[in-house]
Amino acid sequence: MGGRCAVGALRRALRVAAFALVVAVLALAVPLSAGATGRAAGRSAADPSADGGPYSVGVTLSTLSPAVPRQQSDVLTVVGTLDNHGAQQIVGARLGVRIDEGSEISSRTEPLASLSPGQSLSFTLTIPVSALGLTRTGDYRFAVDLVGSDGGELGLATTELPWYPSGADSTNTSSGKPLNVAVVWPVTDSPHLEAVSLGEGGTAQPVFRDDGLAAELAVGGRLHEVVAAGAGLPVTWTVDPALLDEAKAMARGYRVARTPNSSNPQDSVKGTGGQVAAAWLAATRSAVAGHDVIALPYADPDVASLAHHAPGNAALLGLVGDSVQQARAAISQALGISAGMDIRTDTAWPYGGALDTSVTALAERFGLKNFIASGMGLSTGTTQPQVQLEGGASAMVAEPTTRAVLSHDLSGNGDQLIARQQLLGDLLKTQQRDPRNPGGIVVEPPRQMPAQTASVLSEALRAAQAAGFVKLVGLGQLGSGPSADAQSALPSAQVAGIAEYAEGLSESELTRFELRAVTRVQPDLERLAQVLSDSSRTMDSVRRAMLRGISTGWRDDRQDADSYREGVGAYIDASIASVRLLQKHSTITVAGNSASVPITVANGLQQPLAGLELRVSSSAPQRLAVETPYTPVQVPTAANRTEQVQVTAYANGPVRLTARLYTTANGRPWGDPMTFQVTISKVSPGAIAIVVGGVVLVLLAGAWKMHQARRKRQQPSPLPPEPPAP
Q: How many CA atoms lie within 13 A of 342 on its CB side?
A: 13
pLDDT tens string 165-212 = 986 455 554 468 999 999 999 999 999 999 999 988 778 899 999 999
Confidence (pTM): 0.82
Cis peptide before 621 (omega within 30 of 0): no
Which residue, 139, 126, 70, is CA-closest to 97? Answer: 126
pLDDT tens string 253-272 = 999 999 988 888 999 999 99
DSSP three-state, residue 125:
strand
d(CA 382, CA 425): 22
- Asked if residue 363 lies in contact with residue 372, where contact means CB atoms within 8 angstroms, the answer is no
Per DSSP bridges, beta strands 153-163 and 138-147 are antiparallel
In this prediction, residue 719 carries a pLDDT of: 42
In this prediction, residue 644 carries a pLDDT of: 96
pLDDT greater than 60 at residue 597: yes
In this prediction, residue 503 carries a pLDDT of: 83
Listed range (230-239, 447-456, 495-504) with the worst mean pLDDT: 495-504
527 confidence band (pLDDT: 50, 70, 90): very high
DSSP three-state, residue 723:
coil
pLDDT greater than 80 at residue 718: no
The pLDDT of 300-322, averaged and rounded, is 94
pLDDT greater than 50 at residue 565: yes
In this prediction, residue 708 carries a pLDDT of: 67
pLDDT, averaged across the chain? 86
Q: What is the C-alpha R_g of the chain?
A: 43
- Phi first, then psi, for residue 316 (nearest 5°) are -65, -40
pLDDT tens string 135-173 = 899 999 999 999 999 999 999 999 999 999 986 455 554
384 confidence band (pLDDT: 50, 70, 90): confident
In this prediction, residue 336 carries a pLDDT of: 82
Q: Between 136 and 486, where is the model more confident?
A: 136
In this prediction, residue 282 carries a pLDDT of: 97
pLDDT tens string 678-711 = 999 874 554 444 444 554 565 666 666 776 666 6
pLDDT tens string 613-629 = 999 999 999 999 999 99
Beta bridge partners of 639: 603
Give CA angle at 114 (112, 120), nearest 5°. Answer: 90
In this prediction, residue 693 carries a pLDDT of: 54
Neighbour-count burial for 690-719, b at 16+ CB within 10 Å, e otherwise = eeeeeeeeeeeeeeeeeeeeeeeeeeeeee
The burial of 622, by beta-carbon neighbours within 10 Å (0-12 exposed, 13-18 middle, 19 or more buried), is given as exposed
d(CA 594, CA 583): 23
Cβ neighbours of residue 294 under 8 Å, at least 6 residues apart?
A: 184, 236, 237, 238, 239, 343, 344, 345, 347, 349, 372, 475
Listed range (7-16, 152-161, 483-492) with the worst mean pLDDT: 7-16
The pLDDT of 342-363, averaged and rounded, is 95
State percent of the chain over pLDDT 90: 73
Long-range contacts from 48-53, C-beta under 8 angstroms, 24+ separation? 48/85, 49/85, 49/86, 49/155, 50/83, 50/85, 51/85
- Asked if residue 636 lies in contact with residue 230, where contact means CB atoms within 8 angstroms, the answer is no
The pLDDT of 381-404, averaged and rounded, is 89
pLDDT greater than 70 at residue 547: yes
